[in-house]
Amino acid sequence: MGIGAATYWILAKELRTELRTRELLHTTVVFVLLVVVLFSFTFEPTREESRRYGPGLLWLALLFAGSLMLQPAFIREQNNDTLSALRLAPIASLAIFLGKALASFVFLTVAELFLLPIFAALYGVAILPVLGEILVVLALGTLGMVTTGTVFAAIGVQARMRELLLPLLLLPLLVPVLIASVSATASLLALEPSMDWTAMKFLIGFDVIYLAASALLFEFLLED
Amino acid sequence: MHRNGSFRFELSGTLAVAALMGVAGYAVFFLAPTERTMGEIQRIFYFHVASAWTAFLAFFIVFVANLNYLMRRRPVWDQLAVAAAEVGIAFCTVVLLTGPIWAKPVWGIWWTWDARLTSTFVLWLLYVGYLLLRSLVEDPGRRAVTSAVFGIFAFLDVPIVYMSIRWWRTQHPEPVIAGGEGSGLDPTMWRVLLVCLMAMVALLVLLLRQRFRLEQLRGKLEELRLHIGAKPTPRF
Amino acid sequence: MSAEIASVATAGPTRSQTVGVSLRLEQVSKRYGLLYALRDLSLQIRAGEFVLLLGPNGCGKTTLLRVAARLSQPTSGRVVLEGVASETTASMRTVGYVGHQTLLYDELTGAENLRFFARLYGIHSEPLLEEWLRAAELWLRRNDLVRTYSRGMRQRLSIARALLHDPGLILLDEPTTGLDQSGLAWLGGALARLKQQGKTIVASTHSREALAELATRCVTLAAGTVVSDTQSQHSAQQ
């Protein structure tokens, strides 16, 4: 069975499960919302200040949400040892990785789409004029997050304290994603919006490097 | 006989490293010229930079060991990786401690979010995570595989972190010393730095060797325990 | 490829195309840290045999089955499935594994579970799925979430999942656990039919009685090695 088809079936299975339970979506959305509101108490949320701190706030909320959501998303395959069933099937382990990572990508993106208008309204930032660009930045940053996060979740399921361990491993690794995404978002939300092409290329580079590394190394984590 | 010889070798190696450290110390305090603007405090630079390069070397060894473990599955590579990671963190800690000591009198602040210092800090956090992960995975085989994958991911991140911080976060002027081409380090200073670096690398080799052998002994002890403890008991 | 799928697709639960596969373990050891789960274990199982794996908890039954299914890599030694050309993923088609856990998604329905795993094996035949759901006596509950199933229903679905792709070697880890009388009867019937088809079956259990009538051979493990290996009286006619 081709990698594409196997990835598709796993992704479809993930989406169907999530549509039914909505566990990950609900908890992630509520969590990001909470962080965004809590942040408003840490500084004077005037238009001026919001423009300065907003992008960082947005990305920190997303990073924390991602690092909390990715482990449960992977543990689903452990509850009834369905991971063994996937490994028995004649599919490449890359398909398992891609299916899981793409599913997490979709969940996080949905949470972001929900969050974005609320964030814009609460902090008075004009998002509509640069909506397309913002979405591209969000997609690139999220891709980096779920790629590394899915691999680390596969590491985490083999350790004790897994829920706590994943953020500890993932967040320092994502420092470059945080920096580049915040920079790109900040230039888009500035008084005179502009595209930070260096940041975009940088994010693409990060995504490509870690997608390749994950594709090469993921199967080592599945073996027993 | 053999043990005695190995002990003598061990002792002379340790003494040689100690002597080299002494020479380096002498060079730093008595041979290196006093820096014009920063004064005596600048002498910490030799230890600071030499430790940083040595730490990077140690983490590079971790990376090579991680790759080798995944390809060859020999426990020695895992033992080398953990030894190099621990020693690397020690050198990295020296960098993070000497940095503020140097920065305070010169820049007037303990910490600057400068590219080198910050990426060293992130690096330190990554490898502390590496050791943390190792302590949380029970089975030695699983521990070796998971930490090897994480180690490779962490090492790939080092240049990326450095670039990201350098491009977007460095609001300070280029560090005065070794800021790239054109920073013009005095030839004597270069020579002293090289001596210091040699001493630090020698120390790295010494510590790495000890730590690696300790890890090997641990492995052997586990084997022996297994041999005694898990003998199949006849039930019929 | 398409011909292969077609041949599997026409093979219903009662019409098998694959013959039994023989399994050979050569001095297999599996170590978990300080513990040997298997220790220099050698075992040859011929095609068509029905082997009962006996022994106390922790003697290595589960590890043996996982190693045979290639879910676990042995620390040393070799696992050979004969009738299988190479170590490609296609060889996995020949193994059906029923684990201690269900290997099913609780939040999917019975039909969705079977359909998902069928797709991963490249099987697209809806009639085949229906046949399996009926064989597992789950046709009426096919659109209910597995979460709502009883232990017996899960076990039947789990076995259907393992057999979907018509494997030649069937490995079952404690399949009798938690089953009531009717569940045991169903399991006995299913295994009897598989045996009749010439499949190779290895089942672990700690209660010898449940499957003893079907077994042709009993292998007892202790501390990761074979301590007794007897042909059962039922196999006299074999």
- Chain segment B14-39, per-residue pLDDT in tens: 898 888 989 888 888 888 887 777 77
Residues of B in contact with C39 (CB under 8 A): 230, 232
Smallest CA–CA separation between C214 and chain B, in Å? 25
Statement: residue C1 has pLDDT above 50: no
* Count of domains observed in chain A: 1
Q: Domain limits at B209?
A: 16-31+38-214
Query: Is B175 part of any domain?
Result: yes
Q: CA-CA distances (angstroms) from residue B194 to A184, B27, B59?
A: 41, 10, 20
Highest mean pLDDT among B99-108, B147-156, C172-181: B147-156
Alpha carbons C194 and C200: distance in angstroms, whole number: 8
**What are the two backbone dihedrals, phi and then psi, of residue B174, each rounded to the nearest 5 degrees?**
-50, 135
**C225 contacts B226? CB cut-off 8 A:** no
Statement: residue C10 has pLDDT above 90: no
Query: Is B221 part of any domain?
Result: no
What residue in A sits closest to C74 (Cα-Cα)?
A224
Top residue of B225, B228, B235 to mutate, by most chain C CBs within 10 Å, is B235
Residues of A in contact with B157 (CB under 8 A): 172-173, 175-176
Of B140, B232, B236, the CB nearest to C33: B140
Token duo for residue C165? 């792709």
Statement: residue B112 has pLDDT above 50: yes
- Chain segment C22-81, per-residue pLDDT in tens: 899 999 999 887 788 999 999 999 988 999 999 888 889 999 999 999 899 898 999 988
Provide the pLDDT for residue B35.
75
Query: Is B228 part of any domain?
Result: no
Of C71, C101, C112, the CB nearest to A88: C71
Alpha carbons A33 and C97: distance in angstroms, whole number: 44
Residues of B in contact with C226 (CB under 8 A): none
**pLDDT by residue, tens only, chain A of 224 residues:** 789 999 999 999 999 999 999 989 999 999 999 998 898 888 887 888 888 888 999 999 999 999 999 999 999 998 899 999 999 998 999 999 999 999 999 999 999 999 999 999 888 888 889 999 999 999 999 999 999 999 999 999 999 888 899 999 999 999 999 999 999 999 999 888 888 899 999 999 999 999 999 999 999 999 87
Query: Is B132 part of any domain?
Result: yes
Q: How far apart, in Å, do the first and last CA atoms of chain B sit?
A: 47
Query: Is B225 part of any domain?
Result: no
Q: What is the ipTM of this complex?
A: 0.93
Is B160 near chain A, with CB under 8 Å? Answer: yes
| Across B88-109, average pLDDT | 88
DSSP 8-state secondary structure symbol assigned to residue B232: P
Q: Which residues of A130-154 are buried (b: 16+ CB within 10 A; e: fewer)?
A: beebbebbbbbbbbbbbbbbbbbbb
Strands in C76-82's sheet, in edge-to-edge order, are: C35-45, C22-32, C76-82
Statement: residue C88 has pLDDT above 60: no
- Chain segment B164-210, per-residue pLDDT in tens: 888 876 644 455 454 444 456 778 888 888 999 999 999 999 999 99
**A86 contacts C105? CB cut-off 8 A:** no
- Chain segment A21-72, per-residue pLDDT in tens: 998 999 999 999 999 889 888 888 788 888 888 899 999 999 999 999 999 9
Nearest to B133 by CA among A188, C124, C230, A156: A156
Query: Is B204 part of any domain?
Result: yes
Provide the pLDDT for residue C61.
93
Is A224 near chain C, with CB under 8 Å? Answer: yes
Query: Is B5 part of any domain?
Result: no
Alpha carbons B168 and B179: distance in angstroms, whole number: 17
C167 in Cβ contact with C96 (< 8 Å): yes
Q: Output the CA torsion sign for B65, B156, A95, C86.
A: negative
* Count of domains observed in chain B: 1
- Chain segment C190-210, per-residue pLDDT in tens: 999 999 988 899 999 877 777
Is B146 near chain A, with CB under 8 Å? Answer: yes
Provide the pLDDT for residue A162.
85
DSSP 8-state secondary structure symbol assigned to residue C20: P
Q: Which positions 7-46 of A are in contact with C (Cβ < 8 Å)?
A: 9, 13, 16-17, 20-21
Smallest CA–CA separation between B235 and chain C, in Å? 7
Q: Domain limits at A178?
A: 3-222
Nearest to A116 by CA among A47, A54, A202, A41: A54
CB atoms within 10 A of CB C123: 20
Provide the pLDDT for residue B170.
60
Q: Which positions 126-185 of B are in contact with C (Cβ < 8 Å)?
A: 138-141
Q: Which residues of C31-63 are buried (b: 16+ CB within 10 A; e: fewer)?
A: bbeebbbbbebebebebbbbbbbbbeeebbbbb
Token duo for residue C55? 């022994």
Provide the pLDDT for residue A174.
96
Give the neighbours of chain B: at least 3 Cβ pairs within 8 Å. Answer: A, C
Statement: residue C8 has pLDDT above 70: no
Residue C79: CA count within 13 A, CB half-sphere? 22
Confidence label for C233 from pLDDT (cuts 50, 70 and 90): low
Provide the pLDDT for residue C63.
94
Provide the pLDDT for residue C92.
52
What residue in C sits closest to A4 (Cα-Cα)?
C120
| Across B209-232, average pLDDT | 79
Alpha carbons C116 and C128: distance in angstroms, whole number: 13
**B136 contacts A159? CB cut-off 8 A:** yes
CATH topology of domain C2-87+94-231: Rossmann fold (3.40.50)
Instruction: Provide, rounded to the nearest whole percent, the portion of chain A with pLDDT above 90.
Output: 75
What residue in A sits closest to C73 (Cα-Cα)?
A224
**A84 contacts C105? CB cut-off 8 A:** no
Alpha carbons B156 and B150: distance in angstroms, whole number: 10
pTM: 0.89
Is A172 or C83 the better-scoring residue by pLDDT?
A172
Alpha carbons A149 and A71: distance in angstroms, whole number: 8
Quote the mean pLDDT of chain C.
84
